[in-house]
Amino acid sequence: MSTQPQPSQTVLAEEECWELLAGQKIGRLATSVAGEPEIFPVSFAAADQRIFLRTKPGTKLAEVTISPRVAFEVDEIGDTSSWSVVVKGRAQVLERDADLDEARATGLVSYLEDGKTVWVRITPSEVSGRRLVPGEQR
């Protein structure tokens, strides 16, 4: 072990977190209702330091309406380096025209374009990121 590179973690600055988010299309949204966590893969857009999602009326949307505290994670896993960014904040279903215009301006295209007409915006209270470099023993 002593001659091998050691695994390392680096904390990312918030600005770098947003740059990384801007380059990705799919993240995972975690919600919690009555102490029960849920997790969903979702297409997203990052704009103006907020996260925009689209959904259909259903589970995901219902969770966000009942319990707006969410955690949203995006990562990129590679053999020699990886990163993960977590955005914690409040999710809000958008209804005002000005908000909807802003959301549509992101140009977000969902992976599954199946009638997702409802826009959700996550306003962060905390953004954190890490870059991981595994040791050679992997």
Is there binding between residue 5 and a copy of itself (CB under 8 A)? no
Instruction: Using the rule CB under 8 A, give the single segment among 14-22, 46-54, 93-101, 129-137 that binds a copy of itself.
Output: 129-137
Q: Are strands 69-77 and 50-55 parallel, antiparallel or unpaired?
A: unpaired
Q: Is 9 in the site for a copy of itself (CB under 8 A)?
A: yes
Interface with a copy of itself by CB under 8 A: which range of 11-19, 48-56, 92-100, 109-117?
A: 109-117
Phi, psi of 106 (to 5 degrees): -70, -20
Kindly state whether residue 28 participates in binding a copy of itself, applying the rule CB under 8 A: yes
Q: Does 138 bind a copy of itself (CB under 8 A)?
A: yes
Tell me the per-residue interface mask from 58 to 97 with a copy of itself, x by CB under 8 A, - otherwise. Answer: ---------x-xxxxx-x-x----x-x-x-x---------
